[in-house]
Chains A and B, each alone.
Chain A
Amino acid sequence: MNEAQLYGVCGAGLVGIGLYGAILGRSTLRRLLAFNLVGSGVFLIFGAIARRGGLAGGAQSDPVPQALVITGLVVAFAATALAVALLIRLATVAHEAASAAATPGSTDDPSTPATASQGRGERGPGHVGAGHS
């Protein structure tokens, strides 16, 4: 087995492991991490194909798949950053809603008088336009 086949099979294994983790991960962060494993496995398979093509064409690796993988890596990073921001926002909103439901009298945030209305208002479509003006 040459290195292209070996890393190709390794990539196939990573896709399977990542898929399992993305479905059954312990937490949302772990599922995001597992999703990145799937991406990594797909890139490795692509890399193995690039290696085979490159060796057949007289180079170390086919440059066209390499270029596509580089752009893919950057886009995968951007998508992960967005997912992380969504997770943190989700946790914040969930906590605000929970604390508002538990203690309706107290306010977590001094800038707004009513925490209960704020937890809803932030996600409400009517509030978004007013917030930016």
Chain B
Amino acid sequence: MPDVSLPDPHWADLPLGFALLVLALWLTWTQRDRAAVIGFSGYGLLVAIAWVRLGSMDVALTEAALGGGLMGLLLLTAAARLGEETDQPAPGLPARLSIALLCLGVTLVLAAVVLGLPSPAPNLVAPVASHQAVTELGNPVAAVLIAFRAVDTMLESVVLALAVIVLWSFGADRAWGARPRALHLGPPSPALVFLGRLLPPAGLIVGVHLFWTGADHPGGPFQGGAVLAAMAALLWLARLGEPPRVSDGLTRLGIVVGPLLFLLIGLAGAVIADAFLDYPEALTKPLILLIEAAKTLSVAVALALLVAGPPELPGPMPPRQSGRAAKGVTP
């Protein structure tokens, strides 16, 4: 039986919640885009701690790897490319005030709803726990992801593959077949190259471990895949490797193998088991392991490619929008 109350006392909650709100306010009102983006990475890590306090280790790991790590890298490269743009003047005080009041109203209604939730709270803990043994998984979240709500997870892995296709289509026509170059931000510093050599071996082990341990403990394909993707992005950022060309067949196979295997096993379930996405009883655990392994690979490839950006021709960085964007500033 899990321990109902957390051993940690509640003294951390109030400062943490306060810090989240203050950081969000600062992110909205600070002057420089780059500072806001760096603050957002820190915000992602703080939210991950909040998820720990809410008892959701699996979500905390995902938030830390995605929200704190990959998202920070993605937005930092975007800030570096876009420069400090100010596209339009702020509207007058009455407009801003009325919008602020509207947002305050949304917050107050949501807060009232949260504080007025029915008690005892409806939940699906018991149904999951009673059927969890069939999947031979010790982690209830993994059981929900791969078995009880498998349709969601399958659609979600398809969405990732589609996102990469859409991202690639954003490239210029003449750049088709080239490599993604969003992470080409000038010559890397020696410290970054050193980190790029030091971290990936450890990250590889952590990523695969997160996938493997996800069966019985917090972790799983998404968390493991996100760590693996971060390692690939680090290698590309340090220029120790290049993102694959968008025409590379092996890369495309890596993107689709997860959703494809999931779909094929799901369809086979309609024949050899009772329903679509149902697993035959004797093969449940091996099939789940197979799907999760393929999904880890596909998630890692797709997330890394999403950070790497659309294909671009080699050349100077795209020009910045701000006035000081000089044509001579080339990496």
Query: Inside 8 A of A81's CB, which chain B residues have their CB?
Result: 74, 163, 167, 306-307
Taking CB as reference atom, which chain B residue is nearest A17? B24
CA distance A133 to B203 in the complex (A): 40
Given the interface pairs A60-B55, A73-B62, A77-B70, the reply to whether A28 lies near B85 with Cβ below 8 Å is yes
Please state if B110 and A15 are interface contacts (CB–CB under 8 Å): yes
Give the chain A neighbours of B110 by CB distance below 8 A.
11-12, 15-16, 45
B8 to chain A, nearest CB (A): 10
Residues of B within 8 A of A (CB): 1-2, 4, 6, 10, 13-14, 17, 20-21, 24-25, 27-28, 31, 33, 36-37, 40, 43, 47, 50-51, 53-56, 58-59, 62-63, 66-67, 70-71, 74-75, 77-79, 81-82, 84-87, 90-91, 96, 99-100, 102-104, 106-108, 110-111, 113-115, 117, 119-126, 128-129, 140-141, 143-145, 148-149, 152-153, 156, 159-160, 163, 166-167, 170, 172-174, 176, 182, 220, 222, 226, 299, 302-303, 306-307, 309-310, 313, 318-321
* Closest beta carbon of chain B to A81's beta carbon, Å: 4
CB distance from B248 to the nearest CB of A (A): 17
- Give the size of the chain A interface in residues (CB under 8 angstroms): 88
Known: A10-B17, A73-B59, A91-B318. 9 other contacts (CB 8 A): A9-B111, A13-B21, A34-B28, A61-B55, A67-B144, A70-B145, A74-B160, A91-B319, A131-B174
Complex Cα gap A15–B222 (Å) = 25
CA distance A40 to B167 in the complex (A): 23
Give the number of A-B contacts (CB < 8 Å).
Answer: 311
Known: A7-B17, A28-B85, A33-B27. A73 touches B170 (CB 8 A): no
Contact A88 B81 (CB under 8 A): yes
- Judge if A50 is at the interface, Cβ distance under 8 Å: yes
Partner-B contacts on A (CB < 8 A): 2-21, 23-30, 32-34, 36-37, 40, 43-45, 47-64, 66-71, 73-75, 77-82, 84-89, 91-92, 94-95, 99, 111-112, 122, 127-128, 131-132
User: What chain B residues lie within 8 Å of A74 (beta carbons)?
Assistant: 62, 66, 156, 160, 222, 226, 299, 303
* A106, B114: Cα distance in complex, Å: 60
Do B149 and A64 touch (CB < 8 A)? Answer: yes
Q: Across the interface, do B106 and A19 meet the contact criterion of CB distance under 8 Å?
A: yes
